[in-house]
Structure 1
Amino acid sequence: MPEIASRSAASASVSASASSASTILTSVESMRDDNPPTTQFTSIQDLFEVINCTTGDFLAVTNVSPILFTEIERKRDKRRRKFRFRRYESDRQILFITIPTDLHELHFGLYQGYHNKLVRSGRGNSWRTIGTATRRAQQGHPGGDGGEGDSTGGPKPERGMKRFWPTLVIEAGDSESLSELHNDMRWWFFTSEHQVRIVLLAKFDHTRRALILEKWEEESSMARPGATTTRHAAALQPVLRQTITITEDVTTNPVSYNVARGALVLGFRFLFLRDPGPGEGDFVLSVQELQAYAEEVWKML
């Protein structure tokens, strides 16, 4: 069995038994900082045992070569294991794994809310749900870097073919920190060569008992005040467009949910890669819809 620990803690040796492994796995409480639990790869079977004992939704695995990454993917699919590859960075040989917990799957309610509006608008047939399908880098590390979003999709026919990148990616975090979610966001924009247009992050902050939603897009840094017309300034940079914080109010009967900073807006142009036509426009999840969504999230606590 490999070692696993928070990066801020000393490494601990473990035996080959799953019961021993469970005693040294980082707890959910200790994983709620910026340092994910980390294990060094020794064998695929050992990795699967560590995943079995992990109580959070996020795990970093070091010493994973591109060949090993391909083999782990093959064995995972063959055994029908349900964990996902958050992202693989071949230059660092680090594989970040998502282990879906009930709370982690909070992303689905957001995607379903958007998709329901899409269908009601009559555009359901113009959209492809890509889901958790693996996407790999086409430049830089082709066949190496890869990742799987929690909920993803894009327009048809522009993104309707196999292996095409989505325009919308939703990533959720239970024990995964917000800073790691930001790394996920940057990975999607950069590795897709900016074909991904919106990354929506959903993080449950256990310390504050708050649900944090962030909507990220990209813009040229030339568009910012004071930018100069250099090649560096012209590069696309992630920009935080919206932050919405939802908290529970237990003083009301029944319990209610406070949504700070209004409705969530997903821009039509970013989703469909064109200007809206007659009767078309941005997709808005209202405060009331976000409150209903939050109620379902809190049931998972």
Structure 2
Amino acid sequence: MGMRFNTYLVSIGSATIENKEPDYAVQPLNLPAGRTPKWPTLVVETGKSQSHHDLDRVARQWIQKSAGEVKVALTIKVSRTMVTIRRYGRSGITRAAVLQTITVEKRGQNSPVRVAGGPLIIPFIDLFLRTAVRNQADITFNDTELEEWANIVWKSF
């Protein structure tokens, strides 16, 4: 993308849904006029023992209870053989929907890793609350990067 994210994003942990902070949340360092700093623009919820249903419920709540101020919710469900990433966003005025599902699967110790549904794309405007300029663009994690993420996760099992 041609810029350092940590210069333009700040990690926040003050917003809660049902007394739960997200596993990770960020918002732009410079918020547009009138935008409350209460809500992040992106939240991440991860789960190893949680079900997809539980992660789905929480991701939808972040978007809906913030009245769309949370623009992107990512859930990352991990197991020994699969990492599933879902990107949620607004659907209509008040609803949240799964906009993208990516699976990274390892069927056996010596079998190749398979990525389906990639690349993971986080729209620039949703994260930074402004249009991209010059060399700025959507944040894209290609299949190779997704495979590297999964391999790092699997090493911890």
Displacement after TM superposition at 1:239 (Å) = 1.9
* 2:86 matched residue in structure 1: 214
Q: Which amino acid aligns with 1:196?
A: V
| Alignment size in residue pairs | 155
CA-atom RMSD, angstroms?
2.3
For 2:118 and 2:8, the matched residues in 1 are separated by 28
* Structure 1, gaps ≥5 residues long: 1-116, 138-144, 221-234
Residue-by-residue CA offset, 1:28-77 (whole Å, 9 max, x unaligned):
xxxxxxxxxxxxxxxxxxxxxxxxxxxxxxxxxxxxxxxxxxxxxxxxxx
% same residue: 26
For 1:238 and 1:192, the matched residues in 2 are separated by 11
Larger Rg: 1
| Residue correspondence of structure 1 range 74-153 to structure 2 within 5 A | 121-130=3-12, 133-136=13-16, 145-153=18-26
Displacement after TM superposition at 1:135 (Å) = 1.5
Between 1 and 2, higher relative CO (CA 8 Å, sep ≥ 6) is seen in 2
Taking structure 1 as the reference length, the TM-score comes to 0.47
For 2:62 and 2:142, the matched residues in 1 are separated by 26
Q: Which amino acid aligns with 1:197?
A: K
Is 1:289 aligned to 2:145, yes or no?
yes
Indicate if the aligned counterparts of 1:257 and 1:294 stay in contact, CA closer than 8 A: no
* Aligned-partner SS, 1:171: strand
For 1:292 and 1:157, the matched residues in 2 are separated by 31
* 2:105 matched residue in structure 1: 247
Residue-by-residue CA offset, 1:154-179 (whole Å, 9 max, x unaligned):
102218x9952110101011111110
Task: Provide closer, same or farther for how the CA distance between residues 194 and 295 of structure 1 changes in structure 2, counting only shifts above 3 A.
Answer: same
* 1:106 matched residue in structure 2: none
Displacement after TM superposition at 1:259 (Å) = 0.6
Is 1:272 aligned to 2:128, yes or no?
yes
* Aligned-partner SS, 1:146: coil
Give the alignment partner of residue 157 of structure 1, picking from 12, 16, 30. Answer: 30
Displacement after TM superposition at 1:193 (Å) = 2.2
* Structure 2, gaps ≥5 residues long: none
* Aligned-partner SS, 1:196: coil
Taking structure 2 as the reference length, the TM-score comes to 0.87
Indicate if the aligned counterparts of 2:25 and 2:40 stay in contact, CA closer than 8 A: yes
Q: Which amino acid aligns with 2:9?
A: W
Is 1:199 aligned to 2:73, yes or no?
yes
Displacement after TM superposition at 1:205 (Å) = 4.4
Which has the larger share of helix? 1
* 1:299 matched residue in structure 2: 155
Which has the larger share of strand? 2
